[in-house]
């Protein structure tokens, strides 16, 4: 069984590259490149194009779309002040053309590349569940071995589309010590998040793990002061 996988899905003007560096790493790389005016392709090795890391959880979200169980998936990767939007969804209800958007790059997949992309993700997911989630059992993991996992997180939100299929949105973020103070009212509480309303009437879900101040979930009429991770505000595009 191969440890490394890479496949480029070429198009006339844009292409997408799916790379799994190892079956023991809990992520893949998704790269988008465009054809230049001189006919050559952008080179990721020279910092051209756009490359994002896709986690196991996000591979599952993409496969839900490919299998027709979700209408689309949108991810926001926030890391070191940089935010990249990733979108995977169908062009039409016939599910014949898949639209993949990474930042400003857009690639459409048709048969047979669409089927190839699906089969490749299924294979990689099976590999990673077996090999990327296993580890030493007889000796304790060193602090440096688990630090990378603890400094990364994924927050998911789900809504229903008009056709009854769910739309999944995930935000993948590097844990940062930078916080910001906001004033908002609590509208709804879920086990892991709060739906809050800012003074500007903007509403959004915020994971409880990103709130670093005390709050009263019973107090839904008055504004409260929250100290929260800055990335969640950046994601919403809310002016500071």
Superfamily of domain 5-136+150-172: Transcriptional Coactivator Pc4; Chain A (2.30.31.10)
> The pTM is what?
0.64
Q: Does position 236 have pLDDT exceeding 80, yes or no?
A: no
Q: What is the pLDDT of residues 45-93, one digit of tens each?
A: 888 999 888 989 899 999 999 999 888 888 887 665 567 889 999 998 8
Cis peptide before 112 (omega within 30 of 0): yes
Average pLDDT over every residue of 28-32 = 93
Residues with Cβ within 8 Å of residue 177, at least 6 apart in sequence: none
**Predicted confidence band of residue 6 (pLDDT cuts 50, 70, 90):** very high
Q: What residue ranges do the domains of the chain occupy?
A: 5-136+150-172, 177-236
**Predicted confidence band of residue 207 (pLDDT cuts 50, 70, 90):** confident
Distance CA 150, CA 144 (A): 10
Distance CA 157, CA 172 (A): 12
Q: Report the share of the chain in percent with pLDDT over 90.
A: 46
Task: Give me 140's structure tokens.
Answer: 């304790």
Q: Does position 113 have pLDDT exceeding 80, yes or no?
A: yes
End-to-end Cα separation, the chain, in angstroms: 50
């Amino acid at each position: 069984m191969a440890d490394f996988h890479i496949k480029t899905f070429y198009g006339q003007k844009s292409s997408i590259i799916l790379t799994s560096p190892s079956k023991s790493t809990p992520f893949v790389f998704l790269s988008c490149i465009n054809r230049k005016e001189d006919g050559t392709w952008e080179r990721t090795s020279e910092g051209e194009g756009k490359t994002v890391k896709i986690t196991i959880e996000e591979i599952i979200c993409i496969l839900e779309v490919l299998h027709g169980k979700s209408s689309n998936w949108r991810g926001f990767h926030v890391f070191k002040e940089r935010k990249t939007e990733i979108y995977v969804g169908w062009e039409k209800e016939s599910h014949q053309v898949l639209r993949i958007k990474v930042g400003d790059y857009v690639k459409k997949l048709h048969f047979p590349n669409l089927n190839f992309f699906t089969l490749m993700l299924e294979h990689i997911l099976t590999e990673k569940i077996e090999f990327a989630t296993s580890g030493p059992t007889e000796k304790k993991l060193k602090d440096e071995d688990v630090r990378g996992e603890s400094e990364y997180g994924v927050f998911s939100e789900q809504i229903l589309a008009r056709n009854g299929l769910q739309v999944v949105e995930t935000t993948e973020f590097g844990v940062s010590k930078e916080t910001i103070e906001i004033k908002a009212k609590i509208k709804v509480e879920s086990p892991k998040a709060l739906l809050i309303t800012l003074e500007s009437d903007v509403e959004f879900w915020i994971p409880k793990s990103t709130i670093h101040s005390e709050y009263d979930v019973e107090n839904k009429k008055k504004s409260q002061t929250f100290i929260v991770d800055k990335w969640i505000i950046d994601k919403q595009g809310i002016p500071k």
